[in-house]
Structures are given as C-alpha cells and as structure tokens.
Amino acid sequence: MCGGIGSRMNAEVEKPLLKLAGKTFIERILLALKGSGKFSRIVAVVSPNTLKTRQFVLSAGTEVIDTSGHGYSEDLSFLLSKLVPERVFVVPADMPLLTPRIVSEIVQVLQPAYPVVSIVMEKKFVEELGVKPSVLLESGYCHSGISVFDTTRIADHMEEHYIRMNIPEIAVNVNTKEEKELAERLLIQRS
C-alpha cells in the first residue's frame, strides 16, 4: 500500500520515495517481498497522491493498481475487490526496515484458516522502541499494518484474527520525522 499522502511527515517528496540509507522506502519494501521468494505476484497500490511513486514502481517492473486515494480503508477495499480469488499479503510502504527474512517469518506463522489475519505487537513493546502506535486495539496490542486476506472468504462483517510478533523492524511504521530517525538508528544497529 503506497497511496497515502503522508501528511505527518511534512516531506518534500512522497512518503514512499523517502530514502533510508540510500534506498527509497518503497524500494526496500519491494526488495523484502521479492527477496522472500514467497509471492507469485507483487502489486503496488498507488493513488493520485503518489504519482511519482507510481512511476518508480512501474520502472522497477512492478504491477500497479490505481485507487482513489480517499483513505486507507477505501483503497484497501478496492484492492481486495480487484484480487479475487487470491490470498493477499498487505504491507504499508512506510515500513522501510522490512527484510526478506522477516517477510518469510511472517508468512510461516500465518494461519490460512481465517479470512483475515493481522500481525500485532504489544503496545508497551512498540512504545519502548520510541514509536507512537498508529492503530491501537482494546487488548493492549497495536496493529503492525501487515495483514493477510483470503478474498474468497471476505464478508461485510468478518472477525479479524491476530498473531503477536514483537519485531522491531515491523514496529517502526514511519509516520513522523522522529520515527524516520529511529528507523535510521535501528538500521545502523542491525548492520
């Protein structure tokens, strides 16, 4: 998913095109997905908000689905309606620390028995890293942004199932300049 405005970043470029150690966020996501070897198809979901990102992913040989850009949920629903019947692994473009190893680890624990499975982390774990959780759940967990949908089984009101994985690289969902600095520090520590 790379169609959001990224208003909290106040950046001069589209958020998916921000760089971390010389590579754009979207390039890092594409390398993680392709490098995992787990997917038969990789699609970048763009919008009128991310026209330069659209050009970038097309030039990288990645398929594109255009959405309205009116909001994440609306764009996600549109994407899922276009990918029937498929199992769809959704990851936001603002997760630049994602690696092929982490993608493989997530795919291994996903349970195909449910129409929607999402990766969550303990709120305390995320906050201790210095990240402000974007989507909090009542249970004391926060949503990572990574989910898998079985589009053949999606209904209007379906129960989302969760798998807890406290992984720093997926906890750092970069929405602010401070979170970008944190991602840079973690990338240096990881090297």
* Tokens of residue 75, six digits: 């764009």
Q: In what order do the strands lie in the sheet with 141-150?
A: 87-90, 141-150, 116-122, 161-164
Name 158's Cβ contacts closer than 8 Å, sequence gap at least 6: 115, 116
Q: What is the structure's pLDDT at 10?
A: 79
Q: What is the structure's pLDDT at 138?
A: 80
Q: What is the structure's pLDDT at 157?
A: 60
Cross-strand pairs, 148: 89, 117
Q: What is the structure's pLDDT at 182?
A: 93
Low-confidence ranges of the chain (pLDDT < 70): 155-157
What's the pTM value of the predicted model, to 2 decimals? 0.92
What domains lie within the chain, and their CATH numbers?
7-190 (3.90.550.10)
3-state helix, strand, coil in the chain (%, to 5): 40, 20, 40
Q: What is the structure's pLDDT at 18?
A: 94
> Is 131:149 a contact under the CB 8 Å cutoff?
no
Dump pLDDT digits (tens) for 13-60.
999 999 999 999 999 999 999 999 999 999 999 999 999 999 999 999
